[in-house]
Structure 1
Amino acid sequence: MYSTLLPLHSLFRWLVLLSLLFAIYRAFTGWKGQKQFTKLDNFIRHTTATIVHIQMLLGLVLYFISPMVEYFLANLPEAMHEREIRFFGMEHITIMIIAVVVITMGSAKSKRKVDDLEKFKTMAIWFSIGLFLILTSIPWEFSPLTSRPHFRGF
């Protein structure tokens, strides 16, 4: 199961990033262009939050079956001094959960706003903060924290 979920989680991140970028683009252009918040914008808001939640569920399952995390939890004092182990055992999951909470809050707050510009503004700000958090915690190939390939094969 681990060997299937890991590439799926890695591949699904691109859908998360693309949906967030598109939702943020729509939110900023709607906000700055003083446009009407349409059913399409609401669909994009909802779909983006759903995609982020699916990715979180994949990540949580991976967290609990990962041999690296198992080592981290079993050898906590030593593992805290190993950058890659600490990143996946503690830092990655913590920042990603915070990002999901931020995006969820932004989606919920945007949904409840009455004014169209406030909907766009709320979505733009909260989704942008969530995207920033996600970008800082993805194990990019060029990351000084830990390095993983951009695409994993199944």
Structure 2
Amino acid sequence: MYPTLLALHSLVRWFVLASLIIAIIRAYRGWLKHQPYTLADERLRWITATIAHIQLLLGITLYFISPIVDYFLHHFKEAVVIRDIRFFGMEHVTMMLTAIILITIGSAKAKRKPTDLEKFKTMAVWFSIALFIIFTSIPWSFSPLISRPNFRSF
């Protein structure tokens, strides 16, 4: 079960990134060009938040069944100084949870804004901050700090 969830979590990451980038591009374009907030923009906002929440559920499930996290939680004093273990036991989960919270807040605030310009601006700002956090907290294959494959097989 663990390898399958890990591969699925790795795959869904790309959907999160794609939807978030598209939503940010549309939000900045709508904000800066004073475009109308359409049903497509509303659906994209909802889809982006929903995919992020699915990824959160996968991540939380992985957190509780991961052998790395299990080691981190049961050997904290030794594990906290080991970069790979500390990253997955503490840093990754904290930063990603923060990013999902920002996406959720941004989505909820944008939904309730009275004008199209405010909806776009809210999405652009909150989603951009979340994307920055996500980019810095993914264990990219090219990262010198913590490295994992960009694509995992099932």
The question of a shared fold, defined as TM-score above 0.5 by the shorter chain, is answered with yes
1:31-110 alignment to 2 at 5 Å?
31-110=31-110
Provide the rounded CA distance (Å) in 1 between the counterparts of 2:6 and 2:64. 12
Residue type of the alignment partner of 1:40: A
Flag structure 2 segments of 5+ consecutive residues without an equivalent.
none
TM-score (norm 1): 0.99
Structure-1 residue corresponding to 2:142: 142
Runs of 4+ in structure 1 over 2 Å off: none
Q: Secondary structure at the match of 1:101?
A: helix
- State the shift of 1:143 in Å: 1.3
Flag structure 1 segments of 5+ consecutive residues without an equivalent.
none
In the TM superposition, what whole-angstrom CA distance separates every residue of 1:18-57 from its partner, at most 9, and x where no partner exists? 0000000110000011001011100000110000000000
How many residues align structurally?
154
Matched, 1:8 2:11: no
Provide the rounded CA distance (Å) in 1 between the counterparts of 2:131 and 2:119. 18
Please, what is the CA RMSD of the aligned residues? 0.5
In the TM superposition, what whole-angstrom CA distance separates every residue of 1:48-86 from its partner, at most 9, and x where no partner exists? 000000000000000000000000000000000000000
Provide the rounded CA distance (Å) in 2 between the counterparts of 1:145 and 1:2. 24
Contact 1:87 1:145 in 2 (8 A): no
Provide the rounded CA distance (Å) in 1 between the counterparts of 2:18 and 2:76. 35
Provide the rounded CA distance (Å) in 2 between the counterparts of 1:17 and 1:45. 13
